[in-house]
Amino acid sequence: MKLVKMSLAAAVLLGTSAFAIDNIKVNGDAKLYYGTDSKDQAVGISDNLFDKANSYADTALRVGITGDLLKDVSFGVTMNAISTLGVENNLVANTWSRHDNVVDDSSWTSELWIAGTVGKTTAKVGRMELDTPLAFSEKWSMVANTFDAAVLINQNIPDTTFVAAWVGKSNGADAVTAAPNAGERDLIFREGHKFTTFMNKGAYAAGLVNNSFKPLTAQAWYYNIGMVADAFWLQADIDCQLVPGVKIGAQYADIDVKTGGILGAAAQDSSAYAFKLAYQGIEGLNVSAAYSQADDKGSVQIQNVAASGQSKLYTEAWWNYTYVGSKDAEAFNLTAEYAMKDIAKFGVYYTSVSNDIVASTKEMDEVAVTASKSFGPLDATLAYISTNADDQNAGGQYDTIQAYLTLNF
């Protein structure tokens, strides 16, 4: 589903368990996604929920293989395929993602990497998923975007993980060199899922994650993005010791455009900060409130620069991305999730984004309600979303209903 969770860099980029592989392992999933909305259509075309003109669907298959080449040397390869199965213009008029300039089946290799470990240092090279605050693989859609990269992780210092990475290419529609395919619902990939130089000239990233004081996890990231910008991300999340179950978080991000860079002399720096207060003291219950504020300047938004524009800010919406990190955006997010044993997990998410820039079209209100349940290897989610955004549906409110089915193997 289209919901992001921040995790530790060490586990996200290259979990240590990824190299405790015995022989060959095969894993994957098969997905069927369906959505329908009540956006206004042209005169004479119905805009009702479930009508063909307002509905979209797709299927996807992912197969991954990992194994050992030598002692402490492993490899991984993942193949993806997306197909409409012929439902376009029969049951629905659109697909979740267009796959190419025309609606058609598509397949590609999303991961192909080799990794080695010496002591407490691991190096991974090739095509892979990444998860850093400002450049990451987005997991909410049919298939995640990936990168051609080299990653080094060291854990010699107790309770500290150091990450260094070079990102050369990606198949995501990054913030500088490409736009996503016209008509896509997921707005992630370049045309044909083609891997092209990331952010014009590639990028370096370095991160430090520390947990020496056990209630606190602190992380700091630096990015050198070619002739585009230098960027920083600071975050601290702490378990409150006075009130069990209470968690407090703070984030700060800054993107400084380079003088003489490809964004031009008029380009402006951008920044944002966010706070979060959460309570998880009752089994199955998770409630939180978050606030963020972005600078009223900025040529690059505070969001993922590698795909659809999903943001790691605490206030990120469930479905409508690119708003909370936009110029001068003031955002609020309220989240309530409850897992009822043997029934389902329910979630309610409210996000409101406003700003004082008269010409802005980035104001948005979203309410999302979800119900999720697993039936053995089958994960199912039903979602309802109410959207009211200045730059959608001529500024009018509309409803969306989505169904997600994922068979894991």
pLDDT tens-place string over residues 273-315: 999 999 999 999 999 999 999 999 888 899 998 888 899 999 9
8 Å CB contact between 403 and 96: no
Res. 378: pLDDT tops 80:
yes
The one-letter amino acid code at 348 reads V
Res. 319: pLDDT tops 50:
yes
Please give the average per-residue pLDDT across 207-228, as a whole number: 94
Please give the average per-residue pLDDT across 314-335, as a whole number: 95
Interatomic CA distance for residues 236 and 221, integer angstroms: 12
- pTM assigned to the model: 0.90
8 Å CB contact between 270 and 299: yes
CA distances from 297 to 262, 263, 275, 301, 356 (A): 18, 14, 20, 9, 12
Give, as one character, the DSSP assignment of residue 176.
T
Find the helix or strand (DSSP H, E) in which 9 lies.
Answer: helix 9-14
Percent of residues, the chain, with pLDDT higher than 90? 64
8 Å CB contact between 392 and 398: yes
Residue with tokens 């992630």: 188
Give, as one character, the DSSP assignment of residue 180.
P
Domain ranges for the chain, please list them: 9-408
Return the number of other C-beta atoms located less than 10 Å from residue 303's C-beta.
26
Q: What is the pLDDT of residue 358?
A: 65
Interatomic CA distance for residues 50 and 352, integer angstroms: 27
Please give the average per-residue pLDDT across 97-125, as a whole number: 83
Smallest CA-to-CA distance from 15 within 23, 4, 25, 7 is with 7
Structure confidence at residue 6 as a pLDDT band (50, 70, 90)? very low
Structure confidence at residue 11 as a pLDDT band (50, 70, 90)? very low
DSSP 293-360: EE-S--SS-SS-SSSS----STT--SS--SSTTSTT-EEEEEEEEEEETTTEEEEEEEEEEE---TT-
SS (H, E, C) 222-265: EEEECCCEEEEEEEEEEECCCCCCEEEEEEEEEEEECCCCCCCC
Return the number of other C-beta atoms located less than 10 Å from residue 396's C-beta.
12
Return the number of other C-beta atoms located less than 10 Å from residue 48's C-beta.
11
Task: Supply 107's token pair.
Answer: 């397949």
55-70 and 94-95 beta bridge pairing: parallel
Res. 161: pLDDT tops 80:
yes
Smallest CA-to-CA distance from 322 within 309, 307, 305 is with 309
Task: Supply 173's token pair.
Answer: 């529609």
Task: Supply 292's token pair.
Answer: 């963020």
Q: Distance between terminal CA atoms of the chain?
A: 18
pLDDT in tens, 50-109: 988 889 899 999 999 999 988 899 999 999 999 888 887 788 888 887 544 445 688 999
CATH level 3 topology of 9-408: Porin (2.40.160)
Q: What is the pLDDT of residue 184?
A: 56
DSSP SS3 for 157: coil
Return the number of other C-beta atoms located less than 10 Å from residue 32's C-beta.
17
Res. 382: pLDDT tops 50:
yes
Q: What is the pLDDT of residue 3?
A: 42
8 Å CB contact between 200 and 262: yes
Number of H helices, E strands in the chain: 1, 20
Percent of residues, the chain, with pLDDT higher than 70? 90
**Phi and psi at residue 16, to the nearest 5°:** -60, -25
Please list, in sequence order, all residues whose beta carbon lies within 8 angstroms of the beta carbon of residue 146, skipping any fewer than 6 positions away. Answer: 110, 111, 127, 128, 129, 130, 137, 170, 171
Find the helix or strand (DSSP H, E) in which 11 lies.
Answer: helix 9-14
On the 0-12 / 13-18 / 19+ scale of CB atoms within 10 A, 233 is buried
pLDDT in tens, 265-283: 788 889 999 999 999 999 9
285: left (phi over 0), alpha (psi -120 to 50) or beta: beta
Interatomic CA distance for residues 278 and 334, integer angstroms: 10
Q: What is the pLDDT of residue 191?
A: 76
8 Å CB contact between 326 and 317: no
> What radius of gyration, in Å, describes the C-alpha atoms of the chain?
21
